[in-house]
């Protein structure tokens, strides 16, 4: 079992974030477990890259002196797997909000899907979703969204290193994407729908890799909690 000094000196912990947990909740739970079980009054704990509550998968959590490495991890390439539902859009580009528009899908072929994925590889201009934690004029974008306020969101350049279609069972399309820091997979799903002359939103997302770190080596919050009582 790691000691209080081990956590203060610095640990890099890999977690598989549960569905519907916010990144903030996971960090708070990890911090609370360390403090409670090792009788530490104060310890730095932070994460290297937010995941939406409706996403699961790899989160890197750093403790103590290793919180200085967070920016290093955040800048590394990320890999995601997930499912896009074509034929409908939502304001949040995922399942956080209800469908607001529906579109035809009869014209969509496998060839169109693969062609779009190929065309969308490389440096692209992407507009972040309004339901996001990015700030504009000192406010989070989702604050504007929840009030129904219009806001101009500029595009920004991100890099899609690879975009692989792994299953087509319309209206569902499964994918694996490797991308740069700052890429919104929800926006990718939305643009995917537009590119197919239809509409689309994200229905499932899992982060599988950050740099050389893989979710297969990650622990669950339950296993982490049990590690204090089992040792």
Give the active site residues. 52
Say if residue 177's pLDDT is above 90.
Answer: yes
Percent of the chain with pLDDT strictly greater than 70: 91
pTM over 0.75: yes
Separation of CA 90 from chain center: 17
CB 81, CB 178: distance < 8 Å: no
Which CATH code fits 78-210? 3.30.2350.10
pLDDT in tens, 2-29: 889 999 999 999 999 999 999 999 999 9
pLDDT in tens, 62-121: 999 999 999 999 999 999 999 999 999 999 999 999 999 999 999 999 999 999 999 999
Residue ranges matching CATH 3.30.2350.10 in the chain: 4-75+213-230, 78-210
CB 173, CB 167: distance < 8 Å: yes
Quickly tell me which residue has 């997302």 as its tokens. Answer: 205
CB within 8 A of 106, min separation 6: which ones?
none
> 4-75+213-230, what's its fold?
Pseudouridine synthase (3.30.2350)
């Amino acid at each position: 079992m790691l000691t209080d000094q081990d956590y203060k000196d610095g640990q890099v912990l890999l977690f598989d974030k549960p569905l519907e947990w916010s990144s903030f909740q996971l960090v708070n739970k990890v911090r609370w477990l360390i403090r409670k079980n090792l009788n530490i009054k104060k310890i730095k704990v932070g994460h290297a890259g937010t995941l939406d509550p409706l996403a699961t998968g790899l989160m890197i959590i750093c403790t103590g002196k290793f919180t200085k490495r967070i920016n290093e991890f955040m800048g590394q390439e990320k890999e995601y797997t997930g499912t896009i539902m074509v034929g409908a859009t939502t304001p949040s580009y995922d399942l956080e909000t209800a469908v607001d528009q529906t579109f035809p899908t009869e014209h969509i072929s496998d060839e169109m899907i693969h062609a779009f994925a190929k065309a969308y590889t490389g440096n692209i201009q992407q507009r972040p979703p309004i339901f996001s934690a990015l700030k504009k004029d000192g406010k989070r974008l989702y604050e504007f969204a929840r009030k129904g306020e219009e806001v101009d969101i500029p595009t920004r350049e991100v890099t899609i290193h690879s975009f692989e279609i792994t299953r087509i069972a319309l209206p569902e399309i499964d994918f694996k994407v490797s991308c740069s820091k700052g890429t919104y997979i929800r926006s990718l799903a939305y643009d995917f729908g537009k590119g197919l002359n239809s509409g689309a939103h994200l229905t499932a997302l899992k982060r599988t890799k950050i740099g050389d770190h893989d979710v297969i080596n990650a622990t669950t919050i339950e296993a982490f909690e049990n590690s204090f009582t089992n040792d």
